[in-house]
Amino acid sequence: MSKAAQAIAALRAGRAVTVGTLTVAAVETATDDLLAMLDPEGSAPILLSGERASAIGLGNQREAANSHAPVVIARRDWLDARAVRALVDPAQDFGRFSAGPLASEAPGDLEAARGALVLARLAGLMPALWVLPAQAALAVESSEATKAASRSHVSIVSRAQLPVNGLEVPTQIVVMRAEEDGSEHVALLVGAPGGRPPLVRLHSECLTGDVFGSLKCDCGPQLRAAMQLMEQEGAGILLYLRQEGRGIGLANKIRAYALQDRGLDTVEANLRLGFGDDERDFGLAAAMLRALGVSEVRLMTNNPAKLEGLAQAGIVATRVPHHLPTNPHNAHYLATKKAKSGHLD
């Protein structure tokens, strides 16, 4: 298991890790006991993503060009552990006056700060970390932590036949693992590819849409329609990428939904949480295709970022539009993706 994969697991489990020169623990999971042991003075500064710093009103302390750079916030008397946990939690933004005074500064080790925030995101946690006094902890190099966000080394772990309801052609499931972060992803190989580039769908995990039939998005219908089209053509490849919530994880996606319940749109909600609009990595999909021996595809999508992600990683992709009828719950979401995220007609 890579050091980054171990550090992701450790952060999720509430333990401290050292990234570059920074020893950090996640605000979301570090307990009072851990803090009492590792930061007895209660003076550990807080590392926040640039997006979250802007969301809590610290944007004017930084140059606009730097709005995506992480910041560190020094502790004050009023800013005890409880106040910190409230500060980093967007659900509490609406129930209080803005907290302060707060002063942000650039992290001493910017690359380490970025790497630590990548690990927190891949752990599915909020982008907020305690910066603890240096101590012995599981150590990861900054560059390794940062690279965990762009996975290009995948290997096939297991494969088997998988009869699927509605698919009359033989179907196989292939499980792959990425070396960089240890994450597992799936390829469903439908039928036997013919002479031309295969129909391919990159589907990002959406538990709510894929499993429960949520009407807030179009994921479930898109998934089923993609499989149907592959069945009609007699062949296709569905990559099921485990980057839930456009790469922020399930708990964070549901936090974003709670913000949408308060009136924010899908993009605003991600930013308020402290993430970019879309944190996904489509180089991963390119690596999976390469592991399957595929270098040219017909990609079913409306998202130009998927086409660009594959192209950058050397996979030739032409687009097959993939629109499904809207419903009253997802019409605004789909309109926002067109207006703000460049989705195609």
Ligand X SMILES: Nc1nc2c(ncn2[C@@H]2O[C@H](COP(=O)(O)OP(=O)(O)OP(=O)(O)O)[C@@H](O)[C@H]2O)c(=O)[nH]1
Instruction: By CB under 5 A, name the binding residues for Zn ion.
Output: 206, 209, 217, 219
Q: Pick the closer one to ligand X by CB: 12 or 203.
A: 203
Number of residues that bind ligand X (CB under 6 A): 21
Q: Pick the closer one to ligand X by CB: 177 or 253.
A: 253
Q: How far is the CB of 294 from ligand X (least distance, A)?
A: 18
Check whether 224 is labelled as a binding-site residue.
no
Site residues for ligand X, 271-330, by CB under 6 A, read 301-303, 306, 322
Cβ proximity of 298 and 320 under 8 Å? yes
- Kindly state whether residue 248 participates in binding ligand X, applying the rule CB under 6 A: yes
Catalytic residues: 278, 280
Cβ proximity of 305 and 201 under 8 Å? no
Check whether 219 is labelled as a binding-site residue.
yes
Q: x/- binding map, residues 206-225, to ligand X, per CB under 6 A?
A: x----------x-x--x---
Judged by beta carbon distances under 5 to 8 A according to partner kind, the member of ligand X, Zn ion, none in contact with residue 238 is none
| From 52, 75, 121, 246, residue interacting with ligand X (rule: CB under 6 A) | 246
Cβ proximity of 282 and 154 under 8 Å? no
Mutual angle of helices 266-273 and 250-261, in 10-degree steps = 120
Task: State the Cα–Cα distance between residues 94 and 130, nearest whole angstrom.
Answer: 24
Q: Pick the closer one to Zn ion by CB: 48 or 206.
A: 206
Check whether 47 is labelled as a binding-site residue.
no
Check whether 332 is labelled as a binding-site residue.
no
**Known binding-site positions for GTP:** 201-205, 222, 244-246, 266, 301, 306
**Known binding-site positions:** 201-206, 217, 219, 222, 244-246, 266, 301, 306
| Binding site residues, ligand X, CB under 6 A | 203-206, 217, 219, 222, 244-246, 248, 253, 256, 266, 270, 301-303, 306, 322, 337
